[in-house]
Amino acid sequence: MTADFATRVADAVARRGRLCVGIDPHAQLLASWGLTDDAAGVRAFTETVVAAIGPHIAVAKPQVAFYERHGSRGVAVLEDALTSLREAGVLVIADAKRGDIGSTMAAYADTWLGDASPLRADAVTASPYLGVGSLDPAVELADATGRGVVVLARTSNPEGGGLQTATDAAGRTVAQSVVDAAARHNADGPASIGLVVGATRDHGLDLTGVGGPVLAPGLGAQGATPDDLARVFRGATDLLLPSASRQVLAAGPDGAAVAAAAQRLRDEVETALS
Ligand SMILES: O=c1ccn([C@@H]2O[C@H](COP(=O)(O)O)[C@@H](O)[C@H]2O)c(=O)[nH]1
């Protein structure tokens, strides 16, 4: 029997710490690494990052957009990175932010969570704004395969608040309704639903009883610090996955410097949350 996603994350975090490193080959980062803004540059960048973090970090989060912008050759780089990260024992959350009507969602699920897919990851990020229930095909496949669906609840960007903090007649925010749906699912079945809750501001959510990982982007380039985590997430830090991309990646192009930056931030996060 395959362990569920929350259990797999807990095991990985116990071995390597909570930090999730984002792999975001921005055009500006490629330039600062002396690489070309094309699939060859993205390959050199990605291979350096994967080799640097592979032995040290529990969770990686490649940003799919930066691969897709280079067409099929960019996606081939991502495919190879997913294989290498798997072989290095790193759990991968593909940051694709998928969301559609259920029948199309099933195809997205096959792509990112299907055992036979060349693009399979351990989890995929998903947008609940076609209704949390529209994500069911992905959640069902995640349940069956020990993978995860990491659903946007309260994102790290300033524009998210208007929509995500809108309230229903009972005063519950949209973001809290996403959290509550995840908690219900994880309590009843395999704990396959995670949440995205930005580390950049007070989120105003009750995260007790979520039962799944909480991915917290916003460390570093977006302004959040390790010390902010304990305050923003109060008691709910068990399965917290603070995430940083540019803060770690800016240490390149030297792979040893990327590895050192990742380990330093990982240790700062552990100290801040201990
Ligand atoms: O709420 C969200 C959800 C996803 N992200 C993604 O995380 C990284 C952040 O990169 P940094 O360089 O650490 O700022 C990026 O891929 C975003 O798309 C997020 O920032 N906030």
Q: Kindly report the average pLDDT of the chain as a whole number.
A: 97
Domain boundaries, the chain: 5-273
Q: So what's the pLDDT on residue 41?
A: 98
According to CATH, what is the number of the domain 5-273? 3.20.20.70
Place of tokens 């995840």: 182
Tokens of 177: 């309704």
pLDDT score for 2: 87
Residue 225 has pLDDT above 80, yes or no: yes
* Spatial distance between the Cα atoms of 106 and 17, rounded to a whole number of angstroms: 32
Closest atom, ligand 1, to C-alpha of 246: 12
| Banded model confidence at residue 34, pLDDT cuts 50, 70, 90 | very high
Residues 6+ positions from 70 with CB-CB distance below 8 Å: 38, 39, 42, 77
Residue 234: the pLDDT is 85
Which residue's structure tokens are 């569920």?
A: 4
Q: Residues 76, 38: contact at Cβ < 8 Å?
A: no
Write the residue with the smallest CA distance to atom 7 of ligand 1: 217
pLDDT above 90: residue 236: no
Gap from CA of 195 to ligand 1 centroid (Å): 13
Please give the single-letter amino acid code of residue 203: H
pLDDT at residue 54 in the model: 98
- What pLDDT is recorded for position 237? 74
116-131 residue pLDDT tens: 999 999 999 999 999 9
Q: Would the pLDDT of 1 be above 70?
A: no
Atom of ligand 1 nearest to the CA of 156: 1
Residue nearest to atom 5 of ligand 1 (CA): 217
Distance 259 CA to ligand 1 centre (A): 20
Which atom of ligand 1 is the closest one to the Cα of 219? 13
- Percent of the chain scored above 70 by pLDDT? 100
Ligand 1 binding pocket (C-beta < 6 A) is 22, 24, 63, 95, 155-157, 196, 198, 217-218, 220-222, 243-246
Would you list the DSSP string of the chain? -PPPHHHHHHHHHHHH-S-EEEE---HHHHHHTT--SSHHHHHHHHHHHHHHHTTT-SEEEEBTHHHHTTHHHHHHHHHHHHHHHHHTT-EEEEEEEE---HHHHHHHHHHHH-TT-TT--SEEEE--TT-GGGGHHHHHHHHHHT-EEEEEEE-SSGGGHHHHT-B-TTS-BHHHHHHHHHHHHHHHS---EEEEE-SSS------TT--S-EEEE-BSTTSB-HHHHHHHHTT--TTEEEEESHHHHTT-SSHHHHHHHHHHHHHHHHHHH-
The gap from C-alpha 114 to its chain's centroid, in whole angstroms, comes to 18
Q: Does the pLDDT of residue 195 top 90, yes or no?
A: yes
What is the set of active-site residues? 97
Give the Å distance between the CA of 216 and the centre of ligand 1: 9
Tell me, what's the pLDDT at 5? 98
Summarised one tens digit per residue, pLDDT across range 145-190 is 999 999 999 999 999 999 999 999 999 999 999 999 999 999 998 9
CA of 211 to the centre of ligand 1 (A): 23
| pTM attached to this predicted model | 0.98
Q: What pLDDT score does 20 carry?
A: 98
Write the pLDDT tens digit of every residue in 45-94: 999 999 999 999 999 999 999 999 999 999 999 999 999 999 999 999 99
User: How confident is the model at residue 246, as a pLDDT?
Assistant: 98
Does residue 27 have a pLDDT over 90?
yes
